[in-house]
Amino acid sequence: MKIIRVIGVFILASVLTVAIAADFDVMADRILKEIWDFHPIAATHLGLHEHDTRMPDYSTKALKVRLERLEQWYDGLCRFDTTLMPPERRVDCNLLKASLYDEIYDIREGRVYEKNPLLYVQACVYGVYTIMIRHASDLDQKAAAIIARLNQVPYFLKCAMENLKRPAVILCEVSADQLNEGERFIEDVFGHYNDSLSPERVLEFQRAKTKAIAAMMQFAYWLQKNGDADAVYALGREGYDLKLRNVHLVDIDADSMLKVGEYYLRVTEEMADSLSTLLKPALRQMVVLPPDFGPDQVVEYRVEELKDLRDFVAASGMLTIPTWVGDIKIVETPSFLAGLVPGAAMMPPGAFDKSRTSYFYTPRLPVVFDRNDAEYYYNYIHNRWFRESAVHEAYPGHHLQKSIANDHPSAVRKSFGDYFLIEGWALYCEELMVLSGYYEDTVAAMINALEGVKYRAARVVVDVKLQTGTFTYEDALRFMVDNFGGSEAYYSREVKRYISNPIQPASYLIGKLQLHSLLEEYKLMKGNEFMLRDFHDELLSHGSIPIKLIRKLMIGG
């Protein structure tokens, strides 16, 4: 009888598990559809093209309804007994809750739609850009979607001016700069399509473009008049900690994170200085420039470097590169992004898109090289300076990680990405490739890797101090210049990016440290069966989710 009762309890638990999982799947599907419906540009970014013709509705009424729905969904998810869910569903439930909490906080507590004009500016520009880079069946279909969105820009920015209350001057300045670049970008898009569309479609495009740009110019003027020098743009200490804990599932607070940043800023500098004594003095060589050297040679070099890097990673045995991972297209950073992205960056393929191609953004090359440009870029090629960026952005960094994440069967996993995993992995890869023997001069490569960690440690310090109100924009700018030297204009763009995207700047180093901790736990669990390749393959298989959730899947507990 006891055996029968045990079997009965097991069967009942199994039935409950299946029922709860089925109920969760239905709710998750509805939540995702509502998210994509409210954020159509994000849906396009993911490759869900049924939303391509729409701009978001950020009117006061829509935001009120949105908040009510978010809270209803969040309460519904909290009622699930996740202990009865299969581990994969449990992770998806926690991921959805984190995402909903983030949006609820932004509307109710952070009041971002009242404070941050960048939300509206980026929607106008990315609304066009995402259509340009994502797969669509034909040119006319893309043009029709762009026209539809441009036609909605005037009303969208009217809502922005009604919503915004005392926007901070620094955010208004960044927004106005992006609006100016965005206007040029839209003109360029029109020029790109002008000769390929029917006369009727070209006229329709021109009318939509003219109305949208006029509205953007009016909004830029409004921002110049309404920026508030005393307005607070920072999350605040409480908000920062809440987002760390409830959105990114990171078990440290702002104060602890600041101490980590300050420690690594100091220690990496000491380690790099110590290693530099082992470097051989560089021999100065006279460089004879080829007479026809120019931008084409730089582009060709970058393409070859990416191919060599992929081949090296594939042959190294450090992880698996699936055969279906797509290509990388190297492009110059779009003008509207240049103000916020001064260096290299990666635009991975959309999770639901047919295309698997990533776009590797690189700073614009001079149209014509003068002598100084030619000497710099000749040395850039000769010394293979592109490799460090390629490791972080391409292999085994962002392109590979995001491509594998996009192949996850869960729509929930495919729809979200956590900074600490994404950026932490890319920084982890920088050190990994040094230790793999990829670079000829291991000492020099390790010094470069340490400098990279030092830079990310400075980002932790600046991000925490900016968002907790300890640093002003000017303080942060001076801190970066004092620690790293170089162009103040470069760090100005960097600091503005940190201000507009809180927590992301701190995620590189903190995420890397989380991954190292997970690696040590995994080694202990596997013992003599440990293989680094297995760790990397399993880590990447779980998607771009908080590392705490990945740990539960890999280690348990």
Range of weakest confidence among 92-106, 171-185, 532-546:
171-185
Which pLDDT belongs to residue 17? 60
Q: Residue 330: phi, psi to the nearest 5?
A: -85, 120
Range of weakest confidence among 51-60, 132-141, 471-480:
132-141
Going by pLDDT thresholds of 50, 70 and 90, the confidence category of residue 19 is: low
- The average pLDDT across 344-369 equals 90
Which pLDDT belongs to residue 9? 42
**How many Cα neighbours within 13 Å face the side chain of 66?**
23
* Residues 64, 67: Cα–Cα separation, whole Å: 5
Which pLDDT belongs to residue 82? 87
Query: Alpha helix (H) ranges present in 247-294?
Result: 254-276
What is this structure's pTM? 0.92
Q: Give me the residue label for tokens 């055996």.
A: 3
The residues pairing with 295 across neighbouring beta strands, listed in sequence order, are none
* Residues 268, 168: Cα–Cα separation, whole Å: 35
SS3 168: strand
pLDDT of 379 > 70? The answer is yes
Going by pLDDT thresholds of 50, 70 and 90, the confidence category of residue 387 is: very high
Torsion sign across C-alpha atoms 106, 111, 113, 116: negative
Question: Rg of the Cα trace of the chain?
Answer: 25
